[in-house]
Amino acid sequence: MWLLADDAAVVRAATRVCVESGAGLYRTPPPSGTPCVVLADASGNGLADLVGQVRGALPEAYLLGFMATPDPGAWREAERAGFDEVVSRGALGPSLRRALARLADGGAVRSYAICDAQDVAGRIGFLLEAEVPGMGKVSLFREQGRLVCLGTCPHQGAPLGRGEIEEGVVTCPAHGSRFDILTGERVRGPSDFDVACHGAYEQGGRIWVLTRP
Ligand code: FES
């Protein structure tokens, strides 16, 4: 685990969980390619830079954020910045154990090359549609500088890539459900559910989608 926090209670909790689970604890970036859970404070400013730093060093890392004082707006901002999961500081231990257990199973670090980066270079919004093993059809978007993949619409399965995009929200072309592109959050029905949202990143001239659950 790469720990990006100085909060004494968090350091104690993270150290305890690492000792219990046999995971190494890094205070500086681990070597590239190390399967890793990154634990960071998700309540400060500069979250996009922080996420960029982590993804630049370890694109497949599972980025777990904590908040000392949970606030719904700040929570949403952290998810939009690219954290994989955000928890309150009090709930950190169980979430960290789960993330490390998934990592040990190999379930937290899989990714799949979806296309060549040059195929979508310089474009924004909807980029392409693709089949990803284990995930089915996904639509790749570039929104606010971030790459994300959305699954098909949870209402009746329409692909979302052909939908209209307005202020970071895509409208399903079939019956009009609306979803936040960066989080998959349902903004309007008829869908009753959020859409599956997977992070993606560019490395080695290819675009990779994170396929972990
Ligand atoms: S399939 Fe998307 S709203 Fe019906």
Taking the complete model, does pTM exceed 0.85, yes or no? no
Nearest-CA residue for atom 1 of ligand 1: 156
Ordered by start, the domain boundaries in the chain are 2-104, 111-210
CATH fit for domain 2-104, picks 3.40.50.300, 1.10.20.60, 3.40.50.2300, 3.30.390.50: 3.40.50.2300
Q: Quick one: which atom of ligand 1 is closest to the CA of 157?
A: 1
Question: Rounded to the nearest whole angstrom, what is the distance from the C-alpha of residue 144 to the centroid of ligand 1?
Answer: 25
Is any ligand 1 atom within 6 A of the Cβ of residue 175? yes
CATH no., domain 111-210 = 2.102.10.10
pLDDT by residue (tens digit) across 190-210?
999 999 888 888 877 888 887
Residues 92-140 pLDDT 10s: 888 888 888 777 766 545 677 889 899 999 999 999 999 887 788 999 9
The helix (H) or strand (E) run that includes residue 78 is helix 72-81
